[in-house]
Every structure is written in structure tokens, then in C-alpha cells.
Amino acid sequence: MDMEYCSKTVFGVSTESMQCSYDARGNSVPSILLLMQRRLYEQGGLKAEGIFRIAADDAQEQAVREQLNSGVLPEGGVDVHCLAGLIKAWFRELPGGMLDSLPAAEVTRCQSGDDCARLCARLPAAKAALLDWAVQLMADVAREERSNKMGSRNVAMVFAPNMTHAMDPFTALKHAVHVMNFLTMLIDRALNDVQTCNN
């Protein structure tokens, strides 16, 4: 079976210890994420109804995760919902949480995409690049809302709990709502930026 190579042990490790590549926007992103993104797009995942919301088969997700951790992504037969679930899992298991270095009160205060972007600029460079990549991915999903029923708010809703490691369940739930609003504004900003370029 043909395999594509990626770096070893890819879940629950810091980006600094991973093999990275550049995305189209010049962000340095773990190669494994770019590999899963490319496969998701090639297999029509952006148009799949409920992408990033519908859970994959647990057994398949576990099997693919084990292969990824041993350095390979199987060439064929990986369900798009499995790929989407593993991308979310990667963020959920990122040490220190994706957005946890941003003060919760300031995340809550953001009123626009530009407010959010200014706050994102305070993230460490590796996480800022990673967030930009993730927001572009979410915007690509939202752009296909007619097919996948996943507009910017829906995509933000399923990603938000994976972007932060809150302490207790109540705080986690409360903060996830603010993170969802924060991500929605960033996704809408990314969608508007593309429209502005195309006009």
C-alpha cells in the first residue's frame, strides 16, 4: 500500500518538535496538518454535509491516528469525517491550548474581526501562524455552506472547544461560547478579505 511520509508522534506534542512546511500564505504549519488538509480537499471533504461536526467511526479514527503517529497517512480509504476529526483532535491535544495565552477577558471584549486579529498578533509566532492556517481552513469550509450546511458560526462552534484547555467544565463551557464568537468573527473577516480581493 502506498503511504505518504510525515513526522513521527504527531498528537499531543508542541509544534516546535514537529516537521513543519509552509502553507500558501507563508505560515509555518506542521506538515501532518497540511497533509490531512490536502487529502480532505482532494476527497471532496469541504462539500461533505456536516464536515467537522459529524463524528467518524471510532475504530477507523484510532487506526489512522496510530498510523500517523508511526509516520504515515494511508494512501486511500480514509473517510473525510475521520480526517476532519483528527484535525480537531490535533488542536485539542496541543500542549498549552491554542488560545490559552490570550486573556479570556480580552477575547470576550472583541467586537469585530479586526479586534480579534489585533489580539491574535499577541500570540507566540508559531501559534499565530497555526491560528491563521486554522481560520483559513474554517473559512474554506464556510464558503461551501450551501453543500455542507456548515456556515462560519457552525464551524466556529465545533472548533471552539478544541482551541482552549479550560480548567473546570463550567468555565470551559462559558469560555467556549466566547471562543466561538471570536472564531466566527475571524472566519467572517477571512471570507470578507477574499471577497474584497475578488472585487
Cell numbers found for residue 113: 474581526
Strand partners, 48: none
- Split at pLDDT 50, 70, 90, the class of 3 is very low
At residue 16, the pLDDT reads 82
- The average pLDDT across 42-69 equals 94
At residue 8, the pLDDT reads 54
Q: How far apart are CA 68 and CA 74, in angstroms?
A: 8
- The average pLDDT across 94-114 equals 93
Rg (CA), the chain: 16
- Split at pLDDT 50, 70, 90, the class of 4 is very low
- The average pLDDT across 143-161 equals 97
Query: pLDDT tens across 163-187, in order?
Result: 988 667 777 778 889 999 999 999 9
Residue 22: phi and psi, rounded to 5, are -95, 140
Percent of the chain with pLDDT over 70: 92
Q: What is the DSSP string of the chain?
A: --EEE--S--SSS-GGGS-EEE-TTS-EEEHHHHHHHHHHHHTTGGGSTTTTTSPPPHHHHHHHHHHHHTTEEESS---HHHHHHHHHHHHHTSTT-SSTTS-HHHHHH--SHHHHHHHHTTS-HHHHHHHHHHHHHHHHHHHTHHHH---HHHHHHHHGGGS---SSHHHHHHHHHHHHHHHHHHHHHHHHHHHHHH-
Q: How far apart are CA 114 and CA 64, in angstroms?
A: 38
Mean of the per-residue pLDDT values of the chain: 90
* Residue 199 CB-density burial (10 A; 0-12 exposed, 13-18 middle, 19+ buried): exposed
Alpha-carbon separation of residue 113 from 58, 80, 104, 186, 197 (angstroms): 35, 29, 16, 5, 17
Residue 2 has pLDDT above 70, yes or no: no
pTM of the shown model:
0.91
- Split at pLDDT 50, 70, 90, the class of 61 is very high
- Split at pLDDT 50, 70, 90, the class of 196 is low
Task: Select the more confidently predicted residue: 71 or 113.
Answer: 113
Residue 193 has pLDDT above 70, yes or no: yes
- Split at pLDDT 50, 70, 90, the class of 7 is very low
